[in-house]
Structure 1
Amino acid sequence: MPDGREVDQTELLGVAKDEERARSLLRALRTLSTGPDPKLREMATGVLRGDLTAEQAFTDPEYTAALFSGADKIRRAGERRTDAEAREAGERFGEWQQVRRTEDEREDQGEGRGTSPSDTDPPATPAQQPAGPWRHSGPGGVGGPGGLGGSRPSGGFGHR
């Protein structure tokens, strides 16, 4: 941020409800602040700087439309994914989650302060592309959590 100020996860507890979700929201905002969608970049940067509260951002019609549009793209990409691609993505996601948990534990124990490697995607190995757990080699290069791990119900959001 230009003036160096960035909200911390405690400032996001009002919408996140607990520290783990606040940490996740902070990471998501950091990711969105450098992403391809200009409206989401604007929203995330505003929240990170403290110019906009998370409550304001998540109730603004333009920002929520941009969020839902992105979610819809991810959903459609997940529906086009083959079962083999879904299984592979599920495995990568599981590995990524384990790395994230380990880094979170280190951070919780006070080993890491400030920006930690857990705030970004896991380090890429030669066999991986550095696009994080949602990387997808299918159309548009978009992936998402929908359908990870194999078969999924057709249409809608599945069982609740």
Structure 2
Amino acid sequence: MLDGREVDQAELLDVAKDEDRARSLLRALRTLSTGPDPKLREMARGVLRGDLTAEQAFTDPEYTAALFSGADKVRRAGELRSEAEAREAGERFGEWQQARRTEDEREDQGTPPSDTTPRTTPGQQPAAPWRHSGPGEVGGPGTLGVSRPTGPFGHG
């Protein structure tokens, strides 16, 4: 961050409600703070610096619109992929989840990453399973490993 200060997990508990969700929210904010969407970068950086609370960010109409727009793009990409692509993404997601759990356990114990843990530079998130791995592959978080389920809002 510009002044070196960054909120910690405890400061996100009012919105996240528990430690695991707060950790996940902090990771998401870090990812958004370097992402391609300028409105989401602005929002995430403001929360990370402490200039804006997470509750303020998630209730601001402009930031909410940007979040929903991104989620809609992911949903549409998931709808366009084949059953084989969905299965492959589900397998990669399971592997990614296991690696993430291992990383979280190491962080909780204060153990440095092992030689088998993917290396990342400061501020860079580990590669997620929905990253494009080949030509024509479409996918995204929130739609991994399933083929077009009907969601709570009737999408699908």
Q: TM-score under structure 2 normalisation? A: 0.83
Deviations 1:83-112 (A, max 9, x none): 000011111111110000001011111225
Return the letter of the residue paired with 1:111: T
Cα separation, partners in 2 of 1:11 and 1:154, compared to 1, 3 Å: closer
Number of the residue aligned with 2:66: 66
* Conserved 8 A contact 2:130-2:140: yes
* Conserved 8 A contact 2:9-2:19: yes
Task: State the alpha-carbon separation in 2 of the partners of residues 19 and 142 from structure 1.
Answer: 28
**Equivalence map 1:36-115=2 (5 Å):** 36-112=36-112
Q: What is the number of residues matched between the two proteins?
A: 145
Cα separation, partners in 2 of 1:142 and 1:36, compared to 1, 3 Å: farther
* Conserved 8 A contact 1:81-1:138: no
Deviations 1:13-35 (A, max 9, x none): 00000000000000000000000
Task: State the alpha-carbon separation in 1 of the partners of residues 70 and 15 from structure 2.
Answer: 20
Deviations 1:101-126 (A, max 9, x none): 001011111225xxx96x7543xxxx
Shift of 1:141: 5.6
Number of the residue aligned with 1:151: 147
- Considering only aligned residues, what root-mean-square deviation do their CA atoms show, in Å? 2.3
* Conserved 8 A contact 2:33-2:45: yes
Number of the residue aligned with 1:16: 16
Task: State the alpha-carbon separation in 2 of the partners of residues 76 and 20 from structure 1.
Answer: 28
Shift of 1:154: 5.8
Shift of 1:143: 1.9
Once the two structures are aligned, what percentage of the paired residues are identical?
Answer: 79
Cα separation, partners in 2 of 1:44 and 1:96, compared to 1, 3 Å: same
Shift of 1:134: 1.8
Where do 5+ consecutive residues of structure 1 fail to align? 123-130
Return the letter of the residue paired with 1:144: P
Return the letter of the residue paired with 2:147: S
* Conserved 8 A contact 2:130-2:139: yes
Task: State the alpha-carbon separation in 1 of the partners of residues 137 and 62 from structure 2.
Answer: 24
Number of the residue aligned with 1:127: none
* Conserved 8 A contact 2:16-2:25: yes
